[in-house]
Structure 1
Amino acid sequence: MIVPPSLVPPPAGELKIPHANPAIERQSQSIYFSLIVPTYNEARNVEQIVRVLTGLLDHALPNDYELIIVDDDSPDRTWEIAQQMTVDFPNLRVMRRQAERGLSTAVIRGWQAARGEVLGVIDGDLQHPPEVLLKLLQAIKNGADLAVASRHIEGGGTSDWGLIRRVLSRGAQLLGLVILPSVVGRVSDPMSGYFMVRRSAIADCLLSPLGYKILLEVIGRGQVDRVTEVGYVFQERQEGESKVTWRQYVEYLMHLGKLRSRGRISRLREKFQLGRFLRFGLVGFSGVFVDMAAFYFLRTSLGLNLARSTMLSAELAVINNFLWNDLWTFGDIARGQPGKRQRFKRFLKFNTICLMGIILQALIVSLFHDVFHVSEFIAKPIAIVLVTFWNFWINLKLSWRVTDVRRK
């Protein structure tokens, strides 16, 4: 009877990835890629995921990879099933954690025990299509520090999500962009749990994850320069139960606040964003003149009613602001997204965000004019001042996203 190799002992102490695993130095081994599969009650999936992944990696990286199952002491003994498979799959290693729990820390502990130059993670429930691994590996070989599988770019999507889950996912991303744009804005799918990163980009960084999404930690605390995204379609679970709950969305937002509070943005980036904000402010100031001139013309020359004049003049100001921001304030980003279609998409996003400001502005003008009997030519600038925060601050963060993404 062949005895399976011993389980990998779980690392302890700080959640910090070493520059090199001591095992490499002792054995003079060099492994290119280590893939972590965190599991909990995946007894019905683990055998299939191991077979599929090793089949792909044996072809792409023969004898140059390892697959590490990190199991949180599953009641269904997922770890035991995986350990028995190591006899037939020599590149498979298994870790059973009994003192800790949580997907994010499972990934980090797996990376701490890993020997690879490139570190990756994939879910163990077959919802991440394994074949996308090859595209992610190619992106790393092409120079990316971080390669992320995304549901929100061309070639990506979700197979059968309900409306509520779609709204929660998109809403969490939108809030993330407001709270921490310098981190969340670098990728289109910040809640992705399917990615790989160069060890050198996160080595010696003290990680402090909260919740189940580790990608935010990698981007927020690592030294990640070049990012590439690859589209994938998120599949519905075939076996077992989903582990996504409302609590994980709350932890995601708490994690954003935690990263935000540490003030990671450098002085150079702060100065860069301040310059953008000043340009954005000048453009907004020009929009005031366009808004007021159009409002005066529509009311006095065309004789349109108050509400219609307010909304049309505001829309003309939005168009003015978009054109100048696209050419000047965020011109460097816009030039990286060429084409009429991309510009139109930017305009739609910009206009949608401003729409609430336009509606609010119309309500404020009507309130001052109809209730307090203030002249519409005085009420109008008052309304503009009151919605300045929305028009400047929110659009600054959401209309043009500062990404360093190269998409495949």
Structure 2
Amino acid sequence: MNESSPTPLVPVPMGAAIVPPLPKATEGVRPLRLSLILPTYTESENIEAIVGKLTALLDPTLPNAYELIVVDDDSPDKTWEVALALSDRYPQLRVMRRQSERGLSTAVIRGWQVARGEVLGVIDADLQHPPEVLLKMIAEIEEGADLVVASRHIEGGGVSDWSFIRRFLSRGAQVLGLILLPGVVGRVSDPMSGYFMVRRSAIAHREMNPIGYKILIEVLGRGEIGDVAEVGYVFQERSVGESKVTWRQYVDYIGHLIRLRTSRWPIVRFFCFCAVGFSGVFVDMAVLYLLSDPSTLGWGLTRSKAIAAEIAIINNFLWNDAWTFADMSQKQKGWRKRFKRLLKFNSVCLLGLVLNILLLNLLFNQFGLNRYLANLIAIAAVTLWNFWLNLKLSWRVTEVEPE
């Protein structure tokens, strides 16, 4: 062990969930290669067995270069006390007792915040994650991977005795993740895995904000992850204690996906787009009145509405070009390029109008929704469609003036 070993009982970090960079080496204290977090709650019957297995594996592989950190959520069975009593026998072991926070994901981050390793990892303390897989994961890190995930869904992986419902929910959660966050969840075969290692440098200084039990998608979504490797493992059933898997885990997982998805959505720009669209409603109504009302020009309703809609579209384009997408339009100066943006914006809006009508009819005629509720849903859906398509098409920088 290091010449100056830290106390076995470590304080709980407070404040933002930000993993610090690797602590600087000081006299008598060498940097560690691996810090492995064991988040626990009512695991007093398993903790001695898992610590014994891990040290037997890691002592010859990383001699004096690793630590195990048990982060316990103040278990009623005193798991933290049982772990602390083991520290005399296992000097690599450190223990954190959390009394004001709960949750596996935050427990992992709090453990990483006090860790001293170049590589940060997590493993369940209930022996459902086979410890021997760690050696394969360490080998992948040594080969240059930034993140190594133990997966149940590749060759060599599987589950020992899951019900059909649990298998269905696990796969369904993966598919949902691929739909909402394809660029994040699609990088691994088992996004709900709680058994992985990551280089500290890939997540240092980045604020984490996980929900519930699944922290891997937070690491993938917010970290600077380059190479990803996977190793197969067979998820074991518990021999001691009760499983903590509940329906709430899946609800939290969905909430986590949505939070990560919306964090990548340009919220401020979207609200500007909606405000401009709201102004277009008044322009449309005012022009329609001026053209069609018997007290004014008295034109036909269809012709008046078509003209009013086009003027409202031009109004919306000018405001969006000058405000919502101003940073992008500045890169495409000139009347010719502005006219091209107008044509694309017009086409997107007209397509949105067609989609609005189709969706309105589908919700009203096929699903029997109230006509006004159906129209509101159609408007909301088409607003999202118009914004995203205009962001990716109408104001996309396609020409840059040479310097």
Q: TM-score, normalised by structure 1?
A: 0.63
1:21 aligns with 2:23: yes
Q: Once the 2 structures are TM-superposed, how far is the Cα of residue 209 of structure 1 from its aligned partner? A: 0.3
SS of 1:171's equivalent in the other structure is helix
- Structure 1: how far apart are the matches of 2:179 and 2:8? 47
Match of 1:63 in 2: 64
- One-letter code of the match for 1:11? P
- Structure 2: how far apart are the matches of 1:27 and 1:14? 30
Q: Once the 2 structures are TM-superposed, how far is the Cα of residue 99 of structure 1 from its aligned partner? A: 1.1
* Cα pair distance change 1:43/1:28, threshold 3 Å: closer
* Cα pair distance change 1:80/1:74, threshold 3 Å: same
Match of 2:206 in 1: 205
Q: Once the 2 structures are TM-superposed, how far is the Cα of residue 199 of structure 1 from its aligned partner? A: 0.2
Match of 1:126 in 2: 127
Match of 2:237 in 1: 236
SS of 1:165's equivalent in the other structure is helix
- One-letter code of the match for 1:247? R
Q: Once the 2 structures are TM-superposed, how far is the Cα of residue 21 of structure 1 from its aligned partner? A: 3.2
Q: After the TM superposition, which parts of structure 1 deviate over 3 Å for at least 4 consecutive aligned residues?
A: 24-28
Q: Once the 2 structures are TM-superposed, how far is the Cα of residue 211 of structure 1 from its aligned partner? A: 1.1
- One-letter code of the match for 2:84? Q
Q: Once the 2 structures are TM-superposed, how far is the Cα of residue 127 of structure 1 from its aligned partner? A: 0.2
- Structure 2: how far apart are the matches of 1:6 and 1:87? 9
Residue segments in structure 1 that go unaligned for 5+ positions in a row: 266-388, 390-408
Contact 2:40 2:79 in 1 (8 A): yes
- Structure 2: how far apart are the matches of 1:200 and 1:5? 25
Q: Once the 2 structures are TM-superposed, how far is the Cα of residue 27 of structure 1 from its aligned partner? A: 5.3
SS of 1:11's equivalent in the other structure is coil
1:12 aligns with 2:14: yes
Number of equivalences: 263
More relative contact order in 1 or in 2 (CA 8 Å, sep 6+)? Answer: 1
Contact 1:5 1:86 in 2 (8 A): no
- Structure 2: how far apart are the matches of 1:112 and 1:149? 22
- Structure 2: how far apart are the matches of 1:98 and 1:168? 32
- 5 Å-filtered alignment, 1:253-272, equals 253-263=254-264
SS of 2:136's equivalent in the other structure is helix
SS of 2:35's equivalent in the other structure is strand
- One-letter code of the match for 1:8? V
- Structure 1: how far apart are the matches of 2:207 and 2:8? 29
Kindly provide the CA deviation profile for residues 166-221 of structure 1, in whole angstroms up to 9, marking residues without a partner as x: 00000111111111111110000000000000000000001000111000110000
- 5 Å-filtered alignment, 1:135-284, equals 135-263=136-264
1:90 aligns with 2:95: no
- One-letter code of the match for 2:115? A
- Structure 1: how far apart are the matches of 2:240 and 2:182? 36
Kindly provide the CA deviation profile for residues 314-344 of structure 1, in whole angstroms up to 9, marking residues without a partner as x: xxxxxxxxxxxxxxxxxxxxxxxxxxxxxxx
- Structure 1: how far apart are the matches of 2:211 and 2:265? 17
- One-letter code of the match for 1:254? G
SS of 2:9's equivalent in the other structure is coil
Match of 2:102 in 1: 101
Contact 1:36 1:121 in 2 (8 A): yes
- Structure 1: how far apart are the matches of 2:47 and 2:67? 16
* Cα pair distance change 1:160/1:92, threshold 3 Å: same
- One-letter code of the match for 1:34? S
- Larger mean CA deviation between 212-221 and 28-37 belongs to 28-37
- One-letter code of the match for 2:54? L
Contact 1:21 1:113 in 2 (8 A): no
SS of 1:238's equivalent in the other structure is coil
Match of 1:44 in 2: 45
Contact 2:10 2:96 in 1 (8 A): yes
- Structure 1: how far apart are the matches of 2:87 and 2:7? 7
* Cα pair distance change 1:64/1:36, threshold 3 Å: same
- Structure 2: how far apart are the matches of 1:237 and 1:181? 32
- Structure 1: how far apart are the matches of 2:225 and 2:152? 21
Q: Once the 2 structures are TM-superposed, how far is the Cα of residue 158 of structure 1 from its aligned partner? A: 0.1
- Structure 2: how far apart are the matches of 1:37 and 1:103? 9
Kindly provide the CA deviation profile for residues 9-41 of structure 1, in whole angstroms up to 9, marking residues without a partner as x: 11111100011236x447542111000000000
- Structure 2: how far apart are the matches of 1:108 and 1:43? 22
- 5 Å-filtered alignment, 1:309-388, equals none
How large is the Cα RMSD of the aligned pairs?
A: 1.8
Contact 1:5 1:83 in 2 (8 A): no
Q: Once the 2 structures are TM-superposed, how far is the Cα of residue 264 of structure 1 from its aligned partner? A: 7.2
- Structure 1: how far apart are the matches of 2:38 and 2:81? 15
Q: Once the 2 structures are TM-superposed, how far is the Cα of residue 138 of structure 1 from its aligned partner? A: 0.4
Q: TM-score, normalised by structure 2?
A: 0.63
Contact 2:8 2:87 in 1 (8 A): no
Contact 1:72 1:98 in 2 (8 A): yes
Q: Which has the larger radius of gyration?
A: 2
- Structure 1: how far apart are the matches of 2:34 and 2:183? 28
- Structure 1: how far apart are the matches of 2:96 and 2:62? 22
